[in-house]
Amino acid sequence: MEEQQIELRCTLELLARPKNMAVEALKKILNNLEENGKKLTVSDVTYSDPKEAGNDFYSAFSTFKIKSDVQSLFSFVLDYAPSSTEVLATKDVKISAADFQAVLNDISGRLNQMDHDIKLFSSQNLILTRQNEELKKKLGEGK
């Protein structure tokens, strides 16, 4: 099956510090998109000026076009979670059962990994909170 190309306009946002790293981080991300083995073509890239977001962090965003096949675009969206995605150029999208299955399995695998990580971090947080309370009690008793 010939892979259909779909073109999207996306916006990526991030927080960074110091100020000059906000746009530099976005540039690094977008430069790496085409270099990391994925079949993504990036064009028409613009960057915002960093804005102070508080606590010495700065917010910046980049808007760009990205073109690829369905599976690579799904992967991109899952990897980078753009804050905005607009489909620019495609007609009807046709995808083989095998490609659709691969996309669904990728999504399912990532969701399962996130669920695992959340449960792990929640457990670690609970343990650290309990240990912190025990230390507070011990320090309070020593007075």
* pLDDT tens track for 29-45: 888 887 665 688 899 99
Token pair 């912190």 in the structure block, residue: 132
Domain, as residue range, for 119: 96-143
- Which residue among 78, 93, 108 closes a domain? 93
Q: Which helix (H) or strand (E) holds 100?
A: helix 97-141
CB 26 within 8 A of CB 60: yes
Phi and psi angles of residue 79, each rounded to the nearest 5 degrees, phi first: -75, -40
- Please tell me whether residues 76 and 17 are part of one structural domain: yes
Neighbours of 60 (CB within 10 A): 22
- Structure-token pair, residue 35: 């270099």
- Please tell me whether residues 12 and 23 are part of one structural domain: yes
Q: Which of 19, 12, 16 is nearest to 45 (CA)?
A: 12
- Please tell me whether residues 49 and 103 are part of one structural domain: no
- Please tell me whether residues 60 and 125 are part of one structural domain: no
> Which residues 6+ apart lie within 8 Å of 50 measured at CB?
16, 19, 20, 22, 23, 58, 59, 60
Q: Is residue 1 assigned to a domain?
A: no
What is the reported pLDDT for 2? Answer: 47
CB 4 within 8 A of CB 90: yes
CB 40 within 8 A of CB 82: no
pLDDT tens digits along 72-92: 888 888 888 899 999 887 766
- The pLDDT of residue 94 is above 80: no
Q: Is residue 101 assigned to a domain?
A: yes
